[in-house]
Amino acid sequence: MTAPADTRMSVQLTVNGTEHEIELDTRTTLLDTLREHLKLTGTKKGCDHGQCGACTVIVNGERINSCLSLAVQHQGDEVTTIEGLGTPDNLHPMQAAFVKHDGYQCGYCTPGQICSAVSVLEEIRKGVPSHVTDDLTGTMQASNMEMRERMSGNICRCGAYSNIAEAMAEVAEA
């Protein structure tokens, strides 16, 4: 069933470096836009309530849960999904570290985990504090506790947390 014309809108997004103009129902989430309209199925639909992080993508340099965001809110925004971070022949350093440290088990949450991990290290680099940041005046460190706190919104039902932390630590040190 097609939505009535008055609930549709043209949305312009740049996704993984490619500009798209899509006619969407204004109630369509960014997650459904990526998966159903642009056929970028790397971003996963987990809980659909913003509680698991499987749908994490990077919008204008910041990580978001794409299931909680309407596509029309992102008019003109730059979106990076797992497909935009690297390719099988040219992995992003975080993707390579996840492979090296076995930072995945079933792999369902892995795209969201990787997008979140990339953003976490950028947040730390920029000095954005978290709930566990000790020193707000000095140079922020990518400590195990700091990274784990920031990743707490990304759930791995298989329990690969220590491997994910090792992968992140390797990239943070590089």
Is 110 found in the same domain as 70?
A: no
Is 80 found in the same domain as 110?
A: no
Final residue belonging to a domain, choices 62, 85, 108: 85
pLDDT digits (tens, 9 = 90+) for 104-163: 888 899 999 999 999 999 999 988 888 887 777 767 788 888 889 889 999 988 889 999
Q: In the chain, what's the furthest Cα-to-Cα distance?
A: 56
Final residue belonging to a domain, choices 51, 85, 119: 85
Is 74 found in the same domain as 126?
A: no
- CATH at 101: 1.10.150.120
> Which DSSP letter does residue 7 get?
G
Is 70 found in the same domain as 9?
A: yes
Q: Which long-range contacts (CB under 8 A, 24 or more apart) does 124-129 make?
A: 124/150, 124/172
Is 112 found in the same domain as 78?
A: no
Is 74 found in the same domain as 17?
A: yes
Single pTM value for the model: 0.91
Is 45 found in the same domain as 80?
A: yes
The full DSSP string for 32-93 is HIIIIIS--TTS--SSSSSSS-TTEEEETTEEEEGGGSBGGGGTT-EEE-HHHH-BTTB--H
Residue 44 has pLDDT above 70, yes or no: yes
> Which DSSP letter does residue 2 get?
P
Final residue belonging to a domain, choices 85, 109, 126: 85
As for how many domains the chain has, the answer is: 2
SS3 of residue 14 by DSSP:
strand
- The parent domain of residue 114 ranges over 93-173
Higher-scoring residue by pLDDT: 138, 173: 173
